[in-house]
Amino acid sequence: MNVMKTCAIVLAALLVVGVSVAQEKYTKDQWQQDLNSYTTQRNDLNTKVKAVTDQITTLTQQSSKLDEDWTKCIDDLYALVGSNRQAADAFRSDIDATENTANELSRLSDADLMARSADVDALAAKTKGLWDNKLSLIPEFYDRLTALNDKVKALQTTLSNQVKIYSVGTWARNRDCLWNISKKPDIYSNAWMWPKIWQGNRDQIKDPDVIHPGQKLKIPQGKELTSDEKSAARKYYARKGK
Amino acid sequence: MRTLNRTVIASCMTLLLSGSLMLVGCSSSPDEAQMKQLNDLKEEVAALQKDMAAKDQQKAGLDKEIAEKNAKLTKCNDDQQVVKQRLAK
């Protein structure tokens, strides 16, 4: 009986070992299966790669064609305003530089801006000059110039809101009279603008020939006399002429 | 009785051994050349997958580029119309 028992145990053990060895082994059938599977994958991939390569070729051609179309379109656009690409590039650089100046002036304090009011005037003139170029009709430039205009106007508004104060010195030392004050480079650089100071300070100047040391005169903004100022000047000269 | 037992054990052992050997031996394995063939194929598939991924990426880039160029061209044509209108004013 013992013999039979031992026999059965050994039989079972060997059977388990045998089966597990057989299972772990990579069989030729499995190899064939894998080979078929990978062959199918390779063939599918080859087909897909070929298809996508063809698509890439078509897309590359399409992209080149679009480049050509765009180049022609841009040339036609510049030709509409009698210009060309080189001139447009130069115009673009010009706008860049003007925008930089406007940005620089916009960052200044009011006092510093006041000291550079001539630069604001130059900027306004430059912007006007840019508008005179027909390239400004092209939306790219038109939009930028419109924004530039707004900046220039803002700067001019800031300046016009500023009132410069001039402290009158003595005649002996400073030779200060409205004519000479007006002539100063940091005032109007133009002696004939003196009526503007007079009219802007009617509260403290009754007679434009008489100003006093220590008086604080407001210097109104502007490059030209208003009609009121011109009228006041005419009346003054008429009175003097009598 | 003892002799009978030994005979039975010996027979069992022989039977089991031959059975196991048959179990293992019946399922034959691929040879070295066949394994190399399979491995080469796997490598080829892996390379193709990599190539495919790169091409898909290239295609996506081109699609994007073309969409941008189309938009630029449309804008240019629109700009021409705007300029014509402004010139007509």
Q: pLDDT of A92-150, one tens digit each?
A: 999 999 999 999 999 998 878 877 888 999 999 999 999 999 999 999 999 999 999 99
Measure Cα distances from B16 to A15, B8, B10, B27 in Å.
Answer: 7, 12, 10, 17
Residue A22 is assigned to a structural domain of this protein:
no
Q: Are residues A145 and A168 in the same domain?
A: no
CATH code, A193: 3.10.350
How far, CA to CA in Å, does A106 sit from each of A96, A146, A148, A158? 15, 16, 11, 10
Cα A173 to Cα B68: distance, rounded to the nearest angstrom = 71
Interchain proximity A73–B76, CB inside 8 Å? yes
At A8 the pLDDT is 61
Q: Is B13 left (phi over 0), alpha (psi -120 to 50) or beta?
A: alpha
Burial class (CB in 10 A: 0-12, 13-18, 19+), A99: middle
Q: Where are the domains of chain B?
A: 1-29, 31-89
Q: How many residues does chain A have?
A: 242
pLDDT the model gives residue A164? 81
Closest CB to B38: pick one of A35, A45, A56.
Answer: A35
Tell me, yes or no, whether A104 and A137 share the same domain.
yes
Cβ contact A85:A78 at 8 Å:
yes
- Asked, for residue A206, whether it belongs to a domain, the answer is yes
Asked whether residue A104 is assigned to any structural domain, the reply reads yes
SS3 A108: coil
Backbone conformation region of residue A222, classed left if phi is above 0, alpha if psi is from -120 to 50, else beta: left
| Cβ-contact B41, A33 below 8 angstroms | no
**23-42 in chain B: CB under 8 A from chain A:** 23-24, 27-30, 34-35, 37-38, 41-42
Q: Contact, A77 vs B79, CB < 8 A?
A: yes
pLDDT in the model for residue A221? 77
Size of interface A-B (CB pairs under 8 A): 133
What are the φ and ψ backbone dihedral angles of A36, each rounded to 5 degrees?
A: -65, -45
pLDDT of res. B84: 97
Q: What's chain A's Rg over C-alpha atoms?
A: 45
pLDDT of residue B13: 61
The separation between the first and the last C-alpha atoms of chain B, rounded to the nearest angstrom, is 128
Closest by Cα among B67, B9, B35 to A38: B35
Percentage above 90 pLDDT, chain A: 73
Q: Is B51:A47 a contact under the CB 8 Å cutoff?
A: no
Distance (Å, rounded) from C-alpha B49 to C-alpha A175? 91
Cα distances (Å, whole numbers) of residue A151 to A123, A225, A241: 10, 25, 46
d(CA A98, CA A119): 11
- On the question of pLDDT at A219 being above 70, the answer is yes
Q: What is the mean pLDDT of chain A?
A: 90
The answer for A 127-146 residues in CB contact with B (under 8 A) is 137-140, 142
Asked if residue A92 is part of any domain, the answer here is: yes
A97 and A144 share one domain = yes
Q: Does the residue A138 lie in any domain?
A: yes
Domain tally, chain A: 2
Which domain range does residue A230 map to?
A: 164-241
- Taking an 8 Å cut-off on Cβ atoms, the answer to whether B45 and A42 are in contact is yes
Q: Is the pLDDT of residue A184 over 70?
A: yes
Is B76 in contact with A73 (CB distance < 8 Å)?
Answer: yes
- At A66, the pLDDT band (50, 70, 90 cuts) reads very high
Domain membership of residue A2 (yes or no) is no
B87 lies within 8 A of chain A by CB: yes
Same domain, A156 and A170: no
CA–CA separation, B3 and A155 (whole Å) = 124
Q: Clarify whether residues A125 and A193 are in a common domain.
A: no
Same domain for A157 and A211, yes or no, is no
Query: Which region among A54-63, A218-227, B12-21, B73-82 has the lowest average model confidence (pLDDT)?
Result: B12-21
Give a yes or no: residue A182 inside a domain: yes
Alpha-carbon gap, residue A94 to A232, rounded angstroms: 43
Alpha-carbon gap, residue A62 to A3, rounded angstroms: 87
Note whether A45 contacts B48, CB cutoff 8 Å: yes
Closest by Cβ to A49, choosing from B9, B17, B52: B52
Q: Is residue A11 situated within a structural domain?
A: no
Q: What is the pLDDT of residue A16?
A: 56
Q: Are residues A96 and A149 in the same domain?
A: yes
- Which of B17, B45, B66 is nearest residue A38 as measured by Cβ atoms? B45
Let me know whether A215 and A173 are in one domain: yes
Please tell me which of the candidates B17, B28, B70 has its beta carbon nearest to residue A66.
B70
User: Are the CB atoms for A204 and A190 separated by under 8 Å?
Assistant: no
More confident residue, A1 or B31: B31
pLDDT, tens only, B27-54: 589 999 999 999 999 999 999 999 999 9
Query: Where residue B89 falls among pLDDT bands split at 50, 70, 90?
Result: confident
Contacts of B56 in chain A (CB under 8 A): 52
Q: Rg for chain B (alpha carbons), in Å?
A: 38
> A167 pLDDT exceeds 90?
yes
With H, G, I as helix, E, B as strand and everything else as coil, classify residue A3: helix
Of A47-61, A224-238, B20-34, B42-56, which gets the smallest average pLDDT? B20-34
Do B77 and A73 make contact, defined as CB atoms within 8 angstroms?
Answer: yes
